Structure 1
Amino acid sequence: MREHPLRFLTSGWPLRCWAFLFAGLLLGLVVLVSLAALIVFGALFSVVGVGLVMLTAITVFGLPVAGVERRRLRLVEPVPPPDPHGPLEGAGARSWLRTRLRERATWRELGYAVVLAVFFTGANAGLVALLGMSLMLLATPVVVWALAPETVMIIPGQAIPGPVAALPFSAVGLLGLVLSAYGAGLFAAVQVKTAFFLLAPRDEPSRSHVIELTRSRIRLADAFEAERRRIERDLHDGAQQQLVALTMTLGLAEMEMGERDSPAGELVSRARREARQALDELRRLVRGIYPQVLTDHGLAAAVEEVAQGHPLPVTVDIDLPHRLPGMVETTAYFTVTEALANAAKHSGASQVAVVGEYRDDRLILLITDDGHGGADPARGTGLSGLADRMAILKGRLVVSSPRGGPTRLRVEVPCSG
């Protein structure tokens, strides 16, 4: 419109702008009535509790309005502002509401809903009224011809004698139509700018910095896993073999001493038993650092091995179509082991179930125990550590642990890079 004002009039843009404003008028009226109803009825019924729910709904009222507005913007803007909110699959109503209220985008969207209802609705109504009046004036000769002369009065008390006499009104209507087209284009641009200002994500300048921080965090996690495997290998090939050799040497010494009952023989037997205990403890430590079965056979087999040695009965049902990336398997394995350890220490459960599946390029695990519930990250039960482990791969940990149980941990880990 700024570069080619005459070409703008003959293009399809005026029709698109008029459709945009008309849709905005309808949406604004719906938003205005809905906001007014929520405020009025929320205040009236707040004493019985229902009103509090209505008043709470006002705080997130901008979310659906912003979703509809992004679709309406496609009439004049091919690429509308993206949704600044992340997905919250599996979260309960309270968790969803708490998360959304902490996001600044939620309040900006509420502000946009108020601006749309109060300001844009009135302006859109004025421009739509100008368009309607201009079309009526433009069609005056046809109306006069269809209804016969001297029956159509635009000015009170003065009839239009014929279609030719109505041509000046058509000229005024044509001028109003041109003004309406330019006004619709200008005001549509104002609404688009306002929408991008209030509805677009505000963290775009720091996104590259966040991506680099995420990459560096994953590099640190990879380095940590590599160091853990090196320690496991050194213990397996170094200290463990030396303890095996020591146990064999003490056994030979015990055989050489024979059946003689002496203090030295008793000390050698005791040293051999302690060496065996140290070897068993070292083997358990090595398996805890990084289980070899996880490398050889995958996540399902590794969790099965942990379940067999767990003090509580643990049922495992993990159905995976193929091996997952190493980082995903490692993160999921240690998350499951930590959850099982928490269940044994804190839950008072009699049994635990671990269910896993691969869906939509995500590993989903559900760990459930029948304990007394009440798991709280603030009490140091390890849930914060599990959430931090999930955050490395942009995974999600959803905990449901009401008083009286059961406790459910839902783990979602993306399997793509």
Structure 2
Amino acid sequence: MTSTTTLLRAVMRPGFLLSTWPWRGIVYTATTAVASGLLWLVLSFPLAPLALAVGVLKAEGARAVGATPHWWAGTYVSVAVVLSLVGVGLLALTVPKLATAVAGIERWRLRLADDAPAVARRSGNLYTDPATWRSVAYLLLLGIVAPVWLGVLGLAGLLVVSTPIAVHYRLVTMESTGSAVSRAVLGLVLIPAVLYLTSAFGGGHAALARLLLCCEPDPAAAELVEVTRSRARLADAFDAERHRIERDLHDVAQQRLVSLTMQLGLARLDLPSGSPAAVAVASAHDHAKALMAELRDLIRGISPQTLRELGLRAAIEELAAGSPLRVHVDADPGRFPPAVETVAYAAVSEALANAVKHAAATEATVAARRSGGMLTVQVRDDGRGGADPSRGSGITGLADRAAAAGGRLLISSPPGGPTTLRVELPCAS
């Protein structure tokens, strides 16, 4: 059992009577009694034909004792058989469905006796699912075993309630004042005993209910969920680090480089034309301007300002405008979650860069469409194809980022082209 706190365990702990567990045990036990009574009320309908069949056979047996057999004696047996078949058929039709419904209610009631979540796992249809027959077993527990311990609790509770009443109204003979006092003290002592007994019986019933009706979490599934969450956290941390690097480069390194470039430009103007110093400063100035342009492109690639401020469509159009390819853009104008926009933009950027570097493409088409709760981004170029994700880390990294966002990346690049890269990402509708 995966729960850390249950009614049955709470009984064993000190301070039980001062906690809320006794009241939870009373409520759980009372609702168990109600559920057991309602179960028998519902089962009385499919059990009625079987009861009638038993009554018919008993009546025929009593009449036939000492009497001469008649031809209609077989009629009673036939009626009993028909009634039995009807009863069995009704039970076969109703009990699995009833057990499934009761199991759902009981899992909800388990919150009174157990802090752990009650999870059900079903497979197959109603009659082949093992969970159905475990629910049927719980019906037997609720209908047959529960009334036994509920009866024991009822007798104990009746003893506690009857003690002060018997003393007050003198319903029992008291030989002395001492016997009356001892009887009253017994009733007071039995109160915590009944609370412990109620919680113990209720906790045991709840433990059996959890064993039959709830599945333990699959360790492999839980580990997979944790791995997925961990990967998402790593992706978020990676994006946050990228934004921090972009801010540092933009606010510190780029500003200092701009200042350096301006100072070199002013120094270039002050130096005599054609002097060795002027040539050196001019070369440094040109290198500084080139470095500033490269740094600006680097910052734009790390965390594009257009993507943050104007959205995916504007950022893709900016990529298309800066690409040496003829790029046709067909994208929805709406905004998407930042993580989704970041992955989609990275996919388009990587696909266009690969089309230029490796595919010798001249034209590309970028489409970004939202359909329901899914954003689909597709980049298609007219290059020579033959892209192999295993030979580079760019596409593999994109696939990992798409998977961390809950999506997937698909690529088709036959030799001779064209190459199509498709990214599907879940997004809010």
TM-score (norm 1): 0.55
Please state how far the C-alpha of 1:180 moved relative to its aligned partner: 5.1
Verify: 1:170 aligned to 2:184, yes or no.
no
Please state how far the C-alpha of 1:168 moved relative to its aligned partner: 2.9
Verify: 1:262 aligned to 2:282, yes or no.
no
Please state how far the C-alpha of 1:216 moved relative to its aligned partner: 3.3
Distance in structure 2 (CA, Å) of the matches to 1:398 and 1:162:
81
Listed one character per residue, the Cα deviations across residues 39-78 of structure 1 (whole Å, up to 9, x for unaligned) are xxxxxxxxxxxxxxxxxxxxxxxxxxxxxxxxxxxxxxxx
Please state how far the C-alpha of 1:347 moved relative to its aligned partner: 2.6
Distance in structure 1 (CA, Å) of the matches to 2:307 and 2:390:
31
Verify: 1:372 aligned to 2:384, yes or no.
yes
Listed one character per residue, the Cα deviations across residues 375-401 of structure 1 (whole Å, up to 9, x for unaligned) are 332232732222101011101222233
Residue identity over aligned pairs, in percent, reads 45
Aligned residue for 1:173, secondary structure, equals helix
Listed one character per residue, the Cα deviations across residues 303-362 of structure 1 (whole Å, up to 9, x for unaligned) are 111111112211111113x32121111111111111111222233333110011122122
Distance in structure 2 (CA, Å) of the matches to 1:203 and 1:6:
32
Q: In 2 relative to 1, CA 196–168 (structure 1 residues): closer, same or farther, beyond 3 Å?
A: closer
1:142-291 to 2 correspondence within 5 Å? 166-179=75-88, 191-193=128-130, 204-259=218-273, 261-291=274-304
1:294-373 to 2 correspondence within 5 Å? 294-320=307-333, 322-373=334-385
Distance in structure 1 (CA, Å) of the matches to 2:307 and 2:77:
87
Q: In 2 relative to 1, CA 194–264 (structure 1 residues): closer, same or farther, beyond 3 Å?
A: same
Q: In 2 relative to 1, CA 202–307 (structure 1 residues): closer, same or farther, beyond 3 Å?
A: farther
Distance in structure 2 (CA, Å) of the matches to 1:13 and 1:411:
59
Q: What is the match of residue 12 of structure 2? A: none
Distance in structure 1 (CA, Å) of the matches to 2:276 and 2:346:
46
Q: What is the match of residue 172 of structure 2? A: none
Distance in structure 2 (CA, Å) of the matches to 1:214 and 1:202:
20
8 Å CA contact retained: 1:347, 1:373: yes
Please state how far the C-alpha of 1:404 moved relative to its aligned partner: 3.4
Q: How many residues align?
A: 268
Structure 1 letter corresponding to 2:330 = D
Q: In 2 relative to 1, CA 179–283 (structure 1 residues): closer, same or farther, beyond 3 Å?
A: closer
Structure 1 letter corresponding to 2:380 = T
Distance in structure 2 (CA, Å) of the matches to 1:6 and 1:253:
100
8 Å CA contact retained: 2:46, 2:87: no
Distance in structure 1 (CA, Å) of the matches to 2:48 and 2:352:
64
Distance in structure 1 (CA, Å) of the matches to 2:309 and 2:133:
52
Verify: 1:414 aligned to 2:351, yes or no.
no
Aligned residue for 1:347, secondary structure, equals coil
Distance in structure 2 (CA, Å) of the matches to 1:239 and 1:327:
26
Q: What is the match of residue 10 of structure 2? A: none
Aligned residue for 1:333, secondary structure, equals helix
Distance in structure 2 (CA, Å) of the matches to 1:326 and 1:375:
29
8 Å CA contact retained: 1:375, 1:381: no
1:362-401 to 2 correspondence within 5 Å? 362-380=374-392, 382-401=394-413
Q: In 2 relative to 1, CA 243–187 (structure 1 residues): closer, same or farther, beyond 3 Å?
A: closer
Distance in structure 2 (CA, Å) of the matches to 1:181 and 1:206:
41
Distance in structure 2 (CA, Å) of the matches to 1:292 and 1:196:
60
Distance in structure 2 (CA, Å) of the matches to 1:13 and 1:379:
71
Q: What is the match of residue 292 of structure 1? A: 305
Distance in structure 2 (CA, Å) of the matches to 1:401 and 1:245:
46
Please state how far the C-alpha of 1:193 moved relative to its aligned partner: 0.7
Q: In 2 relative to 1, CA 415–247 (structure 1 residues): closer, same or farther, beyond 3 Å?
A: same
Aligned residue for 2:129, secondary structure, equals helix
